Amino acid sequence: MSAILTPGPQQNKSKLLDQVRDVIRLKHYSIRTEQSYVDWIRRFILFHGKRHPRDMTEAEVSSFLTHLAREAGVAASTQNQALSALLFLYKEVLKQEIGWLENVERAKKPARLPVT
């Protein structure tokens, strides 16, 4: 007598960060990109009180990126990395468009002074 195992509600739905990892690996991104993207997505979720990104819109993404530039004082390249991680999450994992992010305060690139 063999029992048929049916997946329960928890078995067929993997967690969001596991889904992100699966899509990144499917697209053959590097392990460092995977680690970075997962970290930025985790920070985004924690910043908004552990809300699911599916329930958030362009406004929440903009507020997170602006927070990075204003309060966290990150470099422009760091802010761009966070933006790339969030765009990947919405486009590739959640299959949602978040629109044009026009209300984001951009981090300032350092001025390059000429050397004589």
pLDDT at 53 over 50: yes
Cα distance between residue 105 and residue 109, in whole Å? 12
Q: Where are the alpha helices (DSSP H) in the chain?
A: 16-26, 31-47, 58-70, 76-88
Q: Give the integer Cα–Cα distance in Å for 90 and 3.
A: 39
CA 104 remoteness from chain centre: 15
Q: CB under 8 Å to 61, separation ≥6 — which residues?
A: 44, 86, 90, 98, 101
Domain range summary for the chain, segments of one domain joined by +: 16-93
- Whole-model pTM: value is 0.77
pLDDT-wise least confident of 3-17, 26-40, 90-104:
3-17
Q: Work out the mean pLDDT of the chain and round it to a whole number.
A: 84
Task: Kindly indicate whether the domain formed by 16-93 is annotated with CATH number 1.10.150.130.
Answer: yes
**What pLDDT, on a 0 to 100 scale, did the predictor assign at position 12?**
42
